[in-house]
Amino acid sequence: MVIIPVDAHLLTLTISTPEIVMRPVRVGRETRMQRERIQRTREIQTQRSAASLTLSFMEVNKIFGAADIEFRLRNTTSESVEAPKGSEALDDEGFLMLAAGFPMNNAVSLLLVRSFAGSEGGASKEKLGVCAVGDGSPDTALAHEFGHLLGLEHQGDIRDLMSRGLSAPGTPLTKSEIKGARASWLFQRFGGRPSEGSR
């Protein structure tokens, strides 16, 4: 069994918007109203926790167990970041903007946000070892993004974990996906040998 450690970042997206307000100002004996520009900040916080992630990882590992791979939650941190493009929901472009700030460091980097816009419920960047999912994304979306980090490409069959849309819960890996995952750089990075790909 190859253990792939994961550092989870529970993100709060902060959205700052400028606003003009009128403030009273004393000038001698008079009080005048003066316009002032201020920044209002809203926070969009993920509802995920280490406990809920542990349950999700159990489901993900039921899928990847067929390839003798286990994703293990190593660390969980809570962080605030400026929302890309000032949006409450992270999309593919926003993910790429954030991903560079959370590169893999001896563990896969998982970004968790309140909402992810897109049909797959998440995104990944294999080269950086980073993926992201939203609170409403099912466990198969997390497994799908981990699959991309293992070098697996999209497949056309809706019953396939790597289909472009969301797959059904418990969707198993195909034989070719098992072979591909075992041949990946990530598998080898954490001690797997490509020769283990033949079953």
pLDDT (tens digit, 9 = 90+) per residue, 68-103? 999 999 999 999 999 998 999 999 999 999 999 999
The label of the residue with tokens 């098992």 reads 178
Contact by Cβ (8 Å): 67, 94: no
Mean pLDDT of 151-165: 85
pTM exceeding the 0.75 threshold for the entire prediction: yes
Q: What is the 3-state secondary structure (H, E, C) of the chain?
A: CEEEEEEEEEEEEEEEEEEEEEEEEEECCEEEEEEEEEEEEEEEECCCCHHHHHHHHHHHHHHHHHHCEEEEEEEEEEEEEECHHHCCCECHHHHHHHHCCCCCCCCEEEEEECCECCCCCEEEECCCCEEEEECCCCHHHHHHHHHHHCCCCCECCCCCCCECCCCCCCCCCCHHHHHHHHCCHHHHHCCCCHHHHCC
pLDDT (tens digit, 9 = 90+) per residue, 32-77? 888 988 888 999 999 999 999 999 999 999 999 999 999 999 999 9
**Is the confidence at residue 199, as pLDDT, over 70?**
no
69-82 and 30-45 beta bridge pairing: unpaired
**Is the confidence at residue 3, as pLDDT, over 90?**
yes
Query: What is the predicted pLDDT for the residue at 164?
Result: 82
Q: Residue 138: exposed, middle, or buried by beta-carbon count in 10 A (0-12, 13-18, 19+)? A: middle
Average pLDDT over the chain reads: 91
Query: What is the predicted pLDDT for the residue at 195?
Result: 56
Query: What is the predicted pLDDT for the residue at 198?
Result: 43
**Is the confidence at residue 134, as pLDDT, over 60?**
yes
